[in-house]
Structures are given as structure tokens and as C-alpha cells.
């Protein structure tokens, strides 16, 4: 019989992750070593946080989305020893790479972006999807940087600053749903399968011809605070 060797949370070099009790860590994620994660944050499917040769610190309400990589530096070309520090209410998009950098509160890193050693992303700033931010670059508050290498594009609008906060809030709510789903027993999952099959939607016109009114069972209704 094959047994998976994957461990979602793993100690190394006597360094043990410290994860707040309400943090959602997806089963396929890896949180390793000297990693601290504050309340309400979420680590999504396939992400790796490797705090082996230095530390990773994540504040509250931040989300590290699917397949992202967060690592640190013991030594680098400039001779600096650098942890990775991620503030509160930060959104890190899918497949981003964060290496020995600092992201301040309520900043936004787009999908597939790469941040190299010594980068600082200040509060209320945004790194565009697919961008490469070179070593020791500082992105000032309120600015959008994009490209390879990333350069200043423009100032953030008030709507975009509001969006960053809303994005973090949405992921806090969504993480609760995923945490609940992942905690279900086999029997609960099988029951929901049967309910979904029984209450599967038919064509509305077809239903009206038959005089059928279909109600969605409460087990299948998302909470009101989850946006479509």
C-alpha cells in the first residue's frame, strides 16, 4: 500500500511552524520550519512556505494563493541575511515567488510575480501580474509597478486601494468555507453527493411545465458573505 510522505506542517532544524488556530492551511500546501502565521490568514493549495535557513513572518488576514512559493536567504550576492516578512491584509496572487523580501500591510502582489532578495513593497502598493522585481528595489506606497524588470507605471486609484482591502476580506471569508469543507468526514461528503444529485437543477422552463419548484437544501448554500 502506498502512503503519501507529504506533511502539510513540518519542523526542520528544531524549528517548528507557529500557526494561529484559525489559519486555513490547504492540505496540499507545505509550511516548513521557522514560519509564523497570524490569525485569519490563509495558505492555499500547492503553496510552499520554506523557513529553513531563515524565518518567514505573515501577519493577520493575509492570503498566499495557490502554488505560490515563499523562501528566505541565509546568504546572497550582497552578503545579506534576509527573512521574508509579509504584513497584514496582504494578497499574494497565484504562483507568485517571494524570496527574502518584505511586503507591508495591505499591499497586493499579482499572479506569477517574482520578488527577489531585499525587495520592499510598501503599504497600499501593487505589483502587476507576471512582473519581476529586481533585488533591493523599494516600491513606494500608493504606486503600481509592472514589467520585467518592474518599473513604475502609475499611482493607485482610491478604488484600487479599496479593492486591495476587499480582496483580503473576501479571502478570509472564502478560507472559512474551504476549512469547513476540508474538515468533513467521509460520511458527510457522501451525504452531500447524494443531496446534490437529488436536488440537481433542471431546465427552468421544463420545471415550470411540470409545475415543479426545486429548493436548494441548506447544506449547499454558501454564506452571504461569500461574493460570487
pLDDT at 188: 87
Residue 193 in this model has a pLDDT that exceeds 90: no
pLDDT at 35: 98
For 192-207, what is the mean pLDDT? 70
Cell numbers found for residue 186 = 467521509
Q: Per the omega criterion (within 30 degrees of 0), is the bond before 210 cis?
A: no
Q: What's the predicted TM-score (pTM) here?
A: 0.83
Write the CATH number of the domain with boundaries 9-158.
2.160.10.10
Torsion sign over Cα 155, 89, 166, 49? positive
**Count of Cβ atoms closer than 10 Å to residue 30 Cβ:** 20
Task: Find all residues with CB under 8 Å of 82, minimum gap 6, and list them.
Answer: 54, 72, 73, 76, 100, 101, 117, 118
Pick 60 or 214 by higher pLDDT: 60
Residue 164 in this model has a pLDDT that exceeds 50: yes
Owner of C-alpha cell 502512503: 3
Cell numbers found for residue 8 = 502539510
- Kindly give the pairing relationship between strand 91-92 and strand 108-109: parallel
Residue 123 in this model has a pLDDT that exceeds 80: yes
Confidence of residue 228 (pLDDT cuts 50, 70, 90): very low
Residue 202 in this model has a pLDDT that exceeds 90: no
- Reported as a single tens digit per residue, the pLDDT across 20-50 is 999 999 999 999 999 999 999 999 999 999 9
Phi-psi region of 193 (alpha: psi -120 to 50; beta: other; left: phi over 0): alpha
Q: What are the residue ranges spanned by the domains of the chain?
A: 9-158
Q: Burial code of 3-25, b = ≥16 C-beta within 10 A, e = fewer? A: eeeeeeebeeeebebebeeebbb
Q: What is the phi/psi pair of residue 2, to 5°? A: -85, 135
Residues 153 and 128: their CA atoms lie apart, in Å, by 10
Residues 151 and 39: their CA atoms lie apart, in Å, by 33
Confidence of residue 216 (pLDDT cuts 50, 70, 90): low
Q: Report which secondary-structure segment, H or E, holds 198.
A: helix 186-198
| 3-class secondary structure, 132 | strand
Q: Distance from CA of residue 218 to its chain's centroid?
A: 28
For 90-117, what is the mean pLDDT? 97
Length of the chain: 228
Residues 119 and 1: their CA atoms lie apart, in Å, by 46
Residue 180 in this model has a pLDDT that exceeds 80: yes
**Count of Cβ atoms closer than 10 Å to residue 53 Cβ:** 18
Confidence of residue 208 (pLDDT cuts 50, 70, 90): low
Amino acid at each position: 500500500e502506498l502512503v503519501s510522505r507529504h506533511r502539510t506542517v513540518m519542523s526542520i532544524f528544531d524549528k517548528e511552524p507557529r500557526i494561529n488556530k484559525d489559519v486555513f492551511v490547504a492540505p496540499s500546501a507545505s509550511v516548513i520550519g521557522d514560519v509564523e502565521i497570524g490569525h485569519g490568514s490563509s495558505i492555499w493549495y500547492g503553496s510552499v512556505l520554506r523557513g529553513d535557513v531563515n524565518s518567514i513572518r505573515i501577519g493577520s488576514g493575509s492570503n498566499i494563493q495557490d502554488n505560490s512559493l515563499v523562501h528566505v536567504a541565509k546568504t546572497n550576492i550582497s552578503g545579506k541575511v534576509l527573512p521574508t516578512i509579509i504584513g497584514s491584509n496582504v494578497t499574494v496572487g497565484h504562483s507568485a515567488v517571494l524570496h527574502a523580501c518584505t511586503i507591508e500591510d495591505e499591499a497586493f502582489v499579482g499572479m506569477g510575480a517574482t520578488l527577489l532578495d531585499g525587495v520592499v513593497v510598501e503599504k497600499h502598493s501593487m505589483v502587476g501580474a507576471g512582473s519581476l522585481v529586481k533585488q533591493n528595489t523599494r516600491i513606494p506606497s500608493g504606486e503600481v509597478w509592472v514589467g520585467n524588470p518592474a518599473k513604475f507605471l502609475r499611482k493607485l486609484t482610491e478604488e484600487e486601494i479599496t479593492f486591495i482591502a476587499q480582496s483580503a476580506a473576501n479571502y478570509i471569508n472564502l478560507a472559512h468555507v474551504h476549512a469547513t469543507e476540508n474538515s468533513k468526514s467521509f460520511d458527510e461528503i457522501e451525504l452531500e453527493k447524494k443531496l446534490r444529485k437529488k436536488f440537481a437543477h433542471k431546465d427552468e422552463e421544463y420545471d415550470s411545465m411540470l409545475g415543479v419548484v426545486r429548493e436548494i437544501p441548506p447544506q449547499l448554500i454558501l454564506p452571504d458573505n461569500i461574493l460570487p
